[in-house]
């Protein structure tokens, strides 16, 4: 009985996850971070409306991505320095 319950739970979880993936396409930020800047702009325009200027928001995505890259570089540098000593 318990194995069947776990199997059904897993199946429902998988179905729910797949449904969410179909219902909610990739976000503009996700697309941007994956290097798909043009697609991110199109998705953002679709969400915000045709009169909305998406460029400032895409510029924010760019700035956020650069900050994240800097944090990763700093973290890796610190980790490497600790291993050397």
Relative orientation angle of helices 37-48 and 55-84, to the nearest 10 degrees:
130
Whether pLDDT at 74 is above 90: no
Helix (H) / strand (E) element for 63: namely helix 55-84
Q: Are 38 and 46 in contact (CB under 8 A)?
A: no
Phi, psi of 74 (to 5 degrees): -65, -45
- Structure confidence by residue, pLDDT tens digits, 24-72: 668 999 999 899 999 999 999 999 999 999 999 999 999 999 998 888 8
pLDDT at 73: 86
Whether pLDDT at 1 is above 50: no
Who contacts 58 (Cβ-Cβ below 8 Å, separation ≥6)? 32, 37, 40, 41, 44
């Amino acid at each position: 009985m318990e194995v069947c319950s776990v199997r059904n739970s897993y199946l429902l979880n998988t179905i729910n996850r797949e449904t969410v993936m179909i219902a909610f396409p990739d976000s503009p930020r996700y697309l941007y971070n994956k290097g798909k800047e043009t697609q991110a702009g199109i998705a953002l325009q679709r969400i915000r409306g045709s009169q909305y200027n998406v460029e400032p928001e895409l510029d924010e995505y760019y700035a956020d991505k650069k900050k994240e890259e800097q944090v990763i570089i700093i973290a890796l540098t610190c980790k490497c320095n600790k291993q050397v000593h």
